[in-house]
Amino acid sequence: MDVAGVAEGADVAGGAAGPVLLEARGLRKVYGSGASEVRALDGVDFALHQGEIVVLLGPSGSGKSTLLNLLGGLDIPSGGTIRFDDHDLTKASGEALTRYRRDHVGFVFQFYNLIPSLTARENVALVTDIASRPMTPEESLAMVGLGERLDHFPAQLSGGEQQRVAIARAIAKNPQLLLCDEPTGALDSHTGRLVLGAIAEVNRRLSTAVAVITHNAVIAGMGDRVISLADGRIVSETRNAHRLSPLEMSW
Amino acid sequence: MKRPRALQVKLARDLWAARWQVVTIALVIGAAISGLLSMVGTYRALSGSRELYYERTDFPDVFVHLGRAPEAIVARLGAIAGVSSVASRLTEPAVVKVEDMEQLATAQVLSLPGGSQPTLEGLVLRSGRNVEPGRTGEALVLEAFATAHGLVPGDELRVTFGGRQQRVRMVGTVLSPEFVFSMGAGALMPDDKRFVALFLGRDAVEATLGAKGTFNDAVLRLAPGTDAIEVARAVDLVLAPFGGRGAVVREDQPSHRFVSDELAQLETMAIQIPVLFLLVGVFLINVVLSRQVATQREQIAALRALGYSAGAVARHYLAFVVVVAVLGSGVAVVAGELIGRAFCAQYAKFFRFPVLAWKLDVDLVAIGAGAAIGVAALGALRAVRQAASLPPAEAMRPPSPARYRKGLLSRLGLLRLVPPTGRMVVRELERRPLRAAISVLGLGASIGLVIVGNFTRDTIDDLMDSQYQRAMGSDVTVVLTRGASLEVLRSALALPGVLDVEPTAAVPVRLHAGHRRRDLAITGVAADSRLRTILDRRGRPIVLDRRGLTLAVAMASRLDVRVGDVITVERLDDHRTRQVEVVALSDEMVGRTAYMGLTELAALWGEEPTSHALLLQVDPLRLGELQRRLATLPGVAQVAETATFLAAFEATTASFSLTMTAIVLVFGLVIAIGVVYNNGRVTLAERERELATLRVLGFSGDEVSTVVIGEMAAHLVVGIPLGLWLGTQMADAIMGAVDAERYRMAATISFRTYALAALSVVAAAAATAMSVARRLRTLDPSSALKARD
Ligand SMILES: Nc1ncnc2c1ncn2[C@@H]1O[C@H](COP(=O)(O)OP(=O)(O)O)[C@@H](O)[C@H]1O
Ligand SMILES: [Mg+2]
């Protein structure tokens, strides 16, 4: 299969959304060396447009997290380029990557990664303390439906609530990019739908570009585009005629 | 009010969550720095007071005693290059009888400077007034003696010197820089009740001694930059015809030397103890912060992903230990102030300075706080570096299981003998040998400290036993005003209560061995002595029946001579010389000691045996009667009672060592608790899931606790012998700071001290380990198995 061709097609087909925000070409990531070498990503071309939701689908170990980490500036690729606006992330210093994450990217992780010693409000404040144009923690938490639980510690919140705090924390900086790695992986389906609903709501209200990783095919319906990965390569890309609301999905 | 940043809130909550760890480590650091502050502060107070005192009284640079010389010779001393002034004087040993004490006090009479117009030059008047010119019956008295006996100006003393007894009126009390630390001849510790220096007008002393126009003692002040040793040589040349006893430079002046020795000891401890503590502090911070960072791996990753820089993360964890260090410094300032005050108060009992003011200097506090923060940062280095360099992406995955391998014990098959929980202990030790080693070292250090706090007592007890009760069999020593023929023995036996009597002689000499020389007095002791036993290094008695000299070990090593070597002995009064063989080495506490048989010593100079002092064995019930009788005899220069001497010695040293013991014991326990608690908490945190799994598998709470307690016990098993060794080394180093020639006290450590040190630390460790292990028993097996958040 012509992977590059598929990716190029995606570029053209992305007309429905805004201009290209983030673009990766020939992305490779190799862990280890010699006999224990793992090719986690093996030549991936990928673009993310302003305002769209892309669902990255693939079995465990297919390289989804690796791709997301590279796009979010958490890691450096072994080969290929990533461009954000006019910046080449592959050539950026650690400092510049920190600034990139601070100003432009919001992360949502499978295990929430909240700071257990901080309340919901304080967890969000971690971001608003350092971002350049943040909303207030209260606004951000209200947006994910947690306006009432500002002063609860993570241990006093359910899994779904914790993940919504994580989303609030990710969006409080008004990011251009929201990267979610298996956001529902640790949640039951009802709670998972609530969390995905919050993400879709953020995309609708702030026109943030969203990439959602999942190994759950049902979730693919919420995306404008669905990209499937296997063994570090993109194996298919489909465009949904219309996005499903997470509330309409069931698994 | 500005809202604190979220990261600061996290810091505060992390500190609170780890509060007992924070407190115990802050205490260890606080103990270290308070030790530094109090000891260096005391050092500064002592040396500063001395400096000021010397400046104010223009303390002389060279001291010399001689037979007697015409006053005209003073000009020749003044003409020596570099000498800026000379003050001649007359001085004589004396005994003093005071109302409130049956025994005689030992005294030294000194003439005041200024000739017939006495001045207070070189003294500090504390009460009353100076002696009036022309009045012979007046004296100034050392303040400590007056205070000890409740004497006030106007009171009378009965003083015997130069073979004459007289009444003098105390008109004032003084301090003298020559008697900052004042002891009678042959004493080991100051005894304010039984030793005094008396200052009389020159005319009065001249009249008593029949010494008009002569002097027998001089002090010289030198121009800045003059070599005192050179001047001392020149002085010796000038005074050789007049029985010069060898000029002494300031460094060898007894009082000055004693203070210097104490300062040297203080300096040793001021470095040793804090360094030991700080090492333990570095270790604790390292262990605790490394654990903190490992536990917060996912949190650090999240912070990095949210846009916090590596530097911000590093600063966050560094701030954690800086808070600990600042807390520790706060403890140190308060404790250091209290301990320093206590130290200075104790020293004020020994060292008579006009002012001995404790002051905590700002620069010292800054150094202390700087050291605390530096040490905290050093301890944090590894963990902070780990936190900062943690790749944010990598940290998203849970850590892989810690790597264990079969260590030596396992490979030897020894572990098969051990139950599984025991194996977990052994594997943990094998896996983290450095951490185990440092924990062992910390426990060892605390045991060592308790020993350091207690060994002075043992050393003194030992001294009481061996040096005095064994080596000095006599009850009373009577020093005569001048050498007497052995006929005196018969009259001494006739004194009330005297059961046995022996003569001793003292001949001031200079020993020459190659280019080395030392001044001392050879003590002549009866060859078949019953009252004075001289012991060799193995504690066996030395019989002085052989021709030749028995030298103290320290003196032999200073002169670099061995048994069998021949050395030159020069008499200081007439400068005749003899060649004498060294025949034995004796174990002495006071290093400047040499013995010969009494008749042998006299024969060496072609003289009849004489006695300068008498050793008496006395019926204890008639001691008082004897004392009263001796007080009336003009031929008696000094009376020393072994028992009261020992009691006084014990009393003075005991109060000092008690303060020290208490402080160091607390310090030692602070370390032990700090090490055990933090190690225990970290082990618990690291292995919570593992231990909970054991519970699920059916192990009881007690069985699971053995994993944590067993680890601590293993550390203790190695730490105890190490600590006993370490304590012994430190004690030796502290005693070694004292010049062996003047004062040799080998550190003695009793079984009781070793036991106390080991047991107190074991008790503290056990109590702490229990409190940690209690958490294990309440551990909910199922909760620990859930995924962590
Ligand atoms: N830090 C790493 N070191 C070694 N191998 C890694 C590392 N991270 C990921 N891998 C490997 O790379 C491959 C892709 O991993 P990942 O991107 O996490 O997959 P996914 O998120 O799709 O499950 C897997 O085979 C994984 O084992
Ligand atoms: Mg993944």
What CA–CA distance (Å, rounded) separates B712 from B719?
10
Sheet holding A105-108, edge to edge: A105-108, A177-181, A209-214, A53-57, A225-230, A233-239
Q: What SS3 state is found at B119?
A: coil
Nearest CA to ligand 1 atom 4: A31
- CB-based burial label for B629 (10 Å; 0-12, 13-18, 19+): middle
A112 contacts B391? CB cut-off 8 A? no
What CA–CA distance (Å, rounded) separates B232 from B246?
8
CB contacts of B299 in chain A (<8 Å) are: 113, 115-116
- The bridge status of strand B164-175 relative to strand B138-142 is parallel
Mean pLDDT of B251-259: 87
Nearest CA in chain B to A66: B393
- CA torsion sign for B226, B228, B234, B235 is positive
Provide the b/e sequence for B688-706 (b: ≥16 CB within 10 Å): beebbebbeeebebeebbb
The answer for residues whose C-beta is within 8 angstroms of residue A70's C-beta and 6 or more apart is: A24, A27, A29, A41, A76, A77, A82
Mean pLDDT of chain A: 87
> Is the same domain home to B460 and B514?
no
CA of A136 to nearest chain B CA: how many angstroms apart?
13
Report the pLDDT value the prediction gives residue B689, as an integer from 0 to 100: 74
What CA–CA distance (Å, rounded) separates B558 from A49?
91
Counting ligands in written order, the one closest to the CA of A75 is: 1
Mean pLDDT of B143-170: 92
- For residues B699 and A161, the model is more confident at A161
Question: Length of chain A, please?
Answer: 251
Q: Relative to the CA of A63, which ligand 1 atom is closest?
A: 17
Report the pLDDT value the prediction gives residue A13, as an integer from 0 to 100: 36
- The bridge status of strand B549-552 relative to strand B594-597 is antiparallel
B392 contacts A117? CB cut-off 8 A? no
> Is the same domain home to B703 and B609?
no
How many angstroms is it from A80 CA to the middle of ligand 1?
18
Nearest CA in chain A to B304: A98
Q: Relative to the CA of A68, which ligand 1 atom is closest?
A: 17
> How far lies B429's CA from each of A65, B405, B679, B733, in Å?
37, 11, 12, 32
- The bridge status of strand A20-31 relative to strand A38-49 is antiparallel
> Is the same domain home to B99 and B150?
yes
Residue linked to tokens 């030692």: B668
CB contacts of A99 in chain B (<8 Å) are: 307
Report the pLDDT value the prediction gives residue A6, as an integer from 0 to 100: 38
- For residues A53 and B571, the model is more confident at A53
> Is the same domain home to B702 and B764?
yes
Report the pLDDT value the prediction gives residue B318, as an integer from 0 to 100: 96
Question: CB count, 10 Å around CB of B430?
Answer: 17
Report the pLDDT value the prediction gives residue B788, as an integer from 0 to 100: 44
Per residue in A113-123, pLDDT (tens digit) is 899 999 999 99
> Is the same domain home to B743 and B604?
no
- For residues B732 and B708, the model is more confident at B732
> Is the same domain home to B562 and B661?
no
> Is the same domain home to B510 and B560?
yes
Report the pLDDT value the prediction gives residue B394, as an integer from 0 to 100: 64
What CA–CA distance (Å, rounded) separates B473 from B532?
6
Report the pLDDT value the prediction gives residue B555, as an integer from 0 to 100: 86
Residue B262: pLDDT band (50, 70, 90) is confident
For chain A, strand residue ranges (E) read: 20-31, 38-49, 53-57, 79-84, 87-88, 105-108, 177-181, 209-214, 225-230, 233-239
Residue linked to tokens 């034995």: B584
B8 touches chain A (CB under 8 A): no
> How many residue contacts between A and B have a Cβ separation below 8 Å?
94
A115 contacts B299? CB cut-off 8 A? yes
A64 lines ligand 1 (CB under 6 A): yes
A115 lines ligand 1 (CB under 6 A): no
Rg, Å, chain B Cα set: 33
CB contacts of B787 in chain A (<8 Å) are: 111, 186
A122 contacts B9? CB cut-off 8 A? yes
A203 lines ligand 1 (CB under 6 A): no
How many angstroms is it from A65 CA to the middle of ligand 2?
4
> How far lies B706's CA from each of B591, B621, B709, in Å?
54, 63, 5
Nearest CA in chain A to B392: A74
The answer to the question of residue B66 being in a domain is yes
Q: What SS3 state is found at B522?
A: strand
- Kindly report the three-state secondary structure assignment for every residue of B400-413: CCCCCCCCHHHHCC
Question: CB count, 10 Å around CB of B279?
Answer: 18
Report the pLDDT value the prediction gives residue B246, as an integer from 0 to 100: 85
> Phi and psi dihedrals of B485, rounded to 5?
-70, 165
Per residue in B53-83, pLDDT (tens digit) is 999 999 999 999 998 999 999 999 999 999 9
Name the token pair of A22.
């983030």
Per residue in B659-681, pLDDT (tens digit) is 777 888 888 888 888 888 888 88
How many angstroms is it from B397 CA to the middle of ligand 1?
9
Residue A27: pLDDT band (50, 70, 90) is very high
A20-245 fold = Rossmann fold (3.40.50)
How many angstroms is it from A69 CA to the middle of ligand 2?
10
> Is the same domain home to B253 and B134?
yes
Distance of CA B372 to the CA centre of its chain: 26
Report the pLDDT value the prediction gives residue B149, as an integer from 0 to 100: 94
> Is the same domain home to B91 and B211?
yes
B391 touches chain A (CB under 8 A): yes
The answer to the question of residue B35 being in a domain is no
> How far lies B497's CA from each of A4, B336, B369, B617, B628, in Å?
120, 53, 64, 8, 12
A122 contacts B6? CB cut-off 8 A? yes
User: How far from each other are the two terminal CA atoms of chain B, in whole angstroms?
Assistant: 33
Mean pLDDT of B224-233: 94
Residue A138: pLDDT band (50, 70, 90) is very high
A98 contacts B299? CB cut-off 8 A? no
The answer to the question of residue B491 being in a domain is no
- For residues B544 and A1, the model is more confident at B544
> Is the same domain home to B662 and B592?
no
> How far lies B614's CA from each of B183, B620, B640, in Å?
20, 17, 10
Which of the listed residues B225, B257, B289 is the one where a domain comes to its end? B257
A154 contacts B310? CB cut-off 8 A? no
> Is the same domain home to B581 and B696?
no
A36 lines ligand 1 (CB under 6 A): no
Is residue B736 pLDDT above 90, yes or no?
no
| Portion of chain A with pLDDT greater than 70, in percent | 93
The answer to the question of residue B102 being in a domain is yes
How many angstroms is it from B688 CA to the middle of ligand 2?
27
Mean pLDDT of chain B: 86
Per residue in B355-365, pLDDT (tens digit) is 988 999 999 99
Extents of the domains making up chain A: 20-245
Is residue A171 pLDDT above 80, yes or no?
yes
The answer to the question of residue B396 being in a domain is no
Mean pLDDT of B207-218: 93
A40 lines ligand 1 (CB under 6 A): yes
CB contacts of B302 in chain A (<8 Å) are: 107, 109, 113-115
A60 lines ligand 1 (CB under 6 A): yes
Tell me which residue in B3, B305, B308 faces A72 most closely, judged by beta carbons. Answer: B305
B7 touches chain A (CB under 8 A): yes
- For residues B216 and B261, the model is more confident at B216
**How many domains is chain B partitioned into structurally?**
3
A99 contacts B305? CB cut-off 8 A? no
- The bridge status of strand B138-142 relative to strand B195-200 is antiparallel
Report the pLDDT value the prediction gives residue A223, as an integer from 0 to 100: 93
Residue B157: pLDDT band (50, 70, 90) is very high
What CA–CA distance (Å, rounded) separates B169 from B154?
6
Is residue B395 pLDDT above 60, yes or no?
no
> Is the same domain home to B648 and B775?
yes
Is residue B745 pLDDT above 80, yes or no?
no
In terms of residue numbers, what domain contains B115? Answer: 55-257
The answer to the question of residue B194 being in a domain is yes
- For residues B673 and B773, the model is more confident at B673
The answer for residues whose C-beta is within 8 angstroms of residue A7's C-beta and 6 or more apart is: A44, A45, A46, A47, A234, A237
Is residue A100 pLDDT above 90, yes or no?
yes
Report the pLDDT value the prediction gives residue B742, as an integer from 0 to 100: 55
Among residues B351, B35, B413, B365, the alpha carbon closest in space to that of B180 is found at: B351
Nearest CA in chain A to B788: A111
